[in-house]
Amino acid sequence: MADYGTLSKTIEALTEGETDTVSLMATVACEVHHADDRFDWTGFYRVAGPGLLKIGPYQGGHGCLTIPFSRGVCGAAARTGEVQLVPDVDAFPGHIACASSTRSELVLPVWNGKGRLLGVFDIDSDQPDAFTEGDAEALADILGRTFACIS
């Protein structure tokens, strides 16, 4: 299980003063990915146009290059602005299988300091029902503080 207190402090120290979105995303993806063995694929999909996400910095195997807001777990998080906690991806209507090993998924919308959607943060696990509300809350807090400086 991730030690979110330590993870938060580490990310804060590494990103202090940084205002480049891609640099922040790369650092968060790396640190979160290595914080917990449940995290199989960890990364960002950036808003690249109206209703369209494109892959951003990530850790793990390959990801889908583009995802429309209308499809999949990442699209649902971007479209609704709500966290998607999916214990069984096979039971999620319209799930996009970027990797056949994915069993569960947690996707959080990422907002800048002015409330504009920057993208989504996606964590996949090869374990079913791998994520909890506690994971979602801790990660939402980390993302909120990390990206608050982006205008």
H/E element, 23: helix 21-33
Query: Coil, strand or helix: which one is 126?
Result: coil
Q: What is the pTM of this model?
A: 0.96
Which residue's entry shows tokens 């960890």? 42
Per-10-residue mean pLDDT, the chain, length 151:
96 97 98 96 97 97 94 96 95 79 94 97 96 98 97 87
What string of DSSP letters covers 74-104? Answer: HHHHHHH-S-EEES-GGGSTT---SSTT--E
pLDDT at 98: 77
pLDDT at 92: 86
pLDDT at 96: 79
Domains contained in the chain, CATH given: 4-147 (3.30.450.40)
| CA distance linking residue 33 with residue 26, whole number of Å | 11
Q: List, edge to edge, every strand of the sheet that includes 41-49.
A: 66-68, 52-59, 41-49, 117-125, 104-111, 84-86
